[in-house]
Amino acid sequence: MAEAEIKNTTIDPESEFLASKRTNGNEWEIFKENVRPLKRGRNVNLLNHALKSHTHTHLKKSIVQHRRKLIEAIDEYQGDDPLLPWLQCIKWVQEAFPPGGDSSGLVVIYEQCVRAFWHSERYKDDLRYLKVWLEYADNCFDAEVIYAFLDANGIGKSHSNFYISYALHLESKNKFKAANQIFELGISRNAQPDDKLKAAYRKFLAHSLTRSTTAKDDSVEKVAPSRSFGTVLGNRENRSSLSTLTTNCDLSAKNDRIRAVPFSIYKDSAATGETDPRHPEQSHSWHTLGARADRNKENNPIPGRWKSFKVPQRVGIRAGGATPSAFIPVFVDEECQDSKSTKEEGPKCTSLKIKQEDDKELKRETELLRKNPLRNFPQNSLPR
C-alpha cells in the first residue's frame, strides 16, 4: 500500500528535471546572475561548459590547463602578427570565465598585453590594441590614469572610440567641462569614424541641457512652499494660511508682553569708580598697569645650579648590549623587488608569470593592478 502511494505522488516538472540531470542547452539559466555580459554576445555551448566548472572540479582543472596552453602559445608564436595570440587568449578567457573576477586572470593578461606593445609604432594606431586598453581601463579603479597615458603616448588618437570612452568616463566623474574638451579634441583631430563621435557629442550636449534644466527645477522647488501628499488646493489652504497668520499675531503679542516686563541691569561699581558701602575694601581701581618687567615677571625664571650638574657615567660594557659587529637588516618590500626584477628581465618573461601563480597570488596581483594599473611600466613613460 505504501509503495503504491509513493508511485502515485506527483513531482513538479522543475524538480523532476533537476533530479534527472539531463541537459537541454539552457543550463546557463541557473547561473545567469553571475554571468558578465559581453558586447559581442556569448557562445552558449562554451558558456554551459564553463558554468559547469563551478560544481565539477575536473572541468575547472581542464579550463585552467587550457588557459596555460594559450599563454604558452603566446610565447611560442612566430607569425607576422604578435598581437593575434593575445587577442585569442583574451577572448577565450572572457568566454571560459563568465563571472570574470580576480581568479580568471583577465586583468593580468590585459596588463601584460598592453605592456608588451605600448612602445611599438606598429600597434599605436591599431584599433584592436586600443580596445584591449579600453577593456583594461574598465576593469581598473582609476581609469583616468590610463586615458592620460594613452593621450601622452599617442595611442589610438585617430580613433573615435578613445575620445568617446574618455569623455564618458569624465562625465561619470561629474567632470563635464573636461569631457566637453575631450570631445572637441577628438573632433579637431578628425578622429574616425567622425559621425559616431559627433553623434556621441550631441548626446552629451543633450544630457548637459537636461542637467541644467533639472537644476533649475530643483531651485524652484526649494523656494516653493512644501505640501504633504494628498492635500487639495483651494479654501483649505486659505484657512491654513489664515490660521498661520493668527498664530503669528498671537506670538508677536506675547513677545510684546514679555518685552514690557522690566529687568535689573548689573552695574560694576569698581569699573565706574563708585564705592560700595557694604564692601569698602573693593573700592580700589587700577590706574596704572606697571612696567613691562613687572607684567612679565612670571616668564623670567632665575636659573639655578642644575645647568652645571652632570650625570655620572659608568665605565664598562652593558649586559646584553649590541656588539660592534651587529647590524640592522634593511627591509625590502616584495612588491618593489618584484617590479624591479620584471623591469630588468624585460617584457618577455612577464608573460610567463601567470602560469606559475596560484589563485591566491593571481587575486593579489589583480587587486594591485586594479589600484595602480601602470605599476609595472617604466617611470619615464608615465604622464606627468
Provide the CATH number for the domain around residue 55. 1.25.40.430
Task: Name residue, grid cell 526649494.
Answer: 222
Mean pLDDT of the chain: 74
- Taking alpha carbons only, the member of 121, 105, 187 closest to residue 363 is 105
**CA atoms within 13 A of residue 380's CA, in its CB half-sphere:** 2
**Any domain includes 151:** yes
104 and 32 within one domain: yes
pLDDT tens track for 322-379: 555 566 778 777 666 555 554 444 444 444 456 555 678 888 999 999 999 999 998 7
**Any domain includes 357:** no
Please state the rounded mean pLDDT for residues 170-189.
Answer: 94
**Any domain includes 188:** yes
Per-residue pLDDT band at 82 (split at 50, 70, 90): very high
The domain boundary residue, chosen from 64, 85, 118: 118
164 and 208 within one domain: yes
Please state the rounded mean pLDDT for residues 266-271.
Answer: 63
pLDDT of residue 81: 95
**CA–CA gap between residue 75 and residue 348 (Å, rounded):** 8
Percent over 70 (pLDDT), the chain: 54
pLDDT tens track for 16-51: 655 655 555 555 555 665 666 666 666 666 666 666
pLDDT of residue 201: 95
Q: Is there a contact between 128 and 116 (Cβ–Cβ < 8 Å)?
A: no
Per-residue pLDDT for 321 more than 50?
yes
Quote helix, strand, coil % in the chain, to nearest 5. 60, 0, 40
Tell me how many domains the chain contains: 2
188 and 148 within one domain: yes
**Any domain includes 303:** no
The sign of the torsion formed by the CA atoms of 185, 187, 191, 195 equals positive
153 and 107 within one domain: no
pLDDT of residue 2: 47
Per-residue pLDDT for 275 more than 60?
no
**Any domain includes 33:** yes
pLDDT of residue 179: 95
| Terminal C-alpha separation, the chain | 85
Of the two residues 6 and 112, the one the predictor is more confident about is: 112
193 and 147 within one domain: yes
Of the two residues 191 and 355, the one the predictor is more confident about is: 191
Of the two residues 208 and 10, the one the predictor is more confident about is: 208
Report the range out of 36-40, 60-64, 69-73, 241-245 with the highest average pLDDT: 69-73
**CA–CA gap between residue 326 and residue 41 (Å, rounded):** 64
pLDDT of residue 127: 96
β-sheet bridge partners, residue 192: 159
Of the two residues 227 and 329, the one the predictor is more confident about is: 329
**Any domain includes 113:** yes
pLDDT of residue 338: 55
**Any domain includes 339:** no
The domain boundary residue, chosen from 155, 189, 213: 213
94 and 27 within one domain: yes
pLDDT tens track for 87-145: 999 988 888 777 666 678 899 999 999 999 999 999 999 999 999 999 999 999 989 99
157 and 88 within one domain: no
pLDDT of residue 88: 93
Radius of gyration in angstroms for the set of CA atoms belonging to the chain, rounded to a whole number: 39
**Any domain includes 253:** no
The domain boundary residue, chosen from 179, 213, 247: 213
Please state the rounded mean pLDDT for residues 188-211.
Answer: 93
Domain of residue 188: give its range.
143-213
pLDDT of residue 357: 54
pLDDT tens track for 287-305: 677 777 777 777 777 766 6
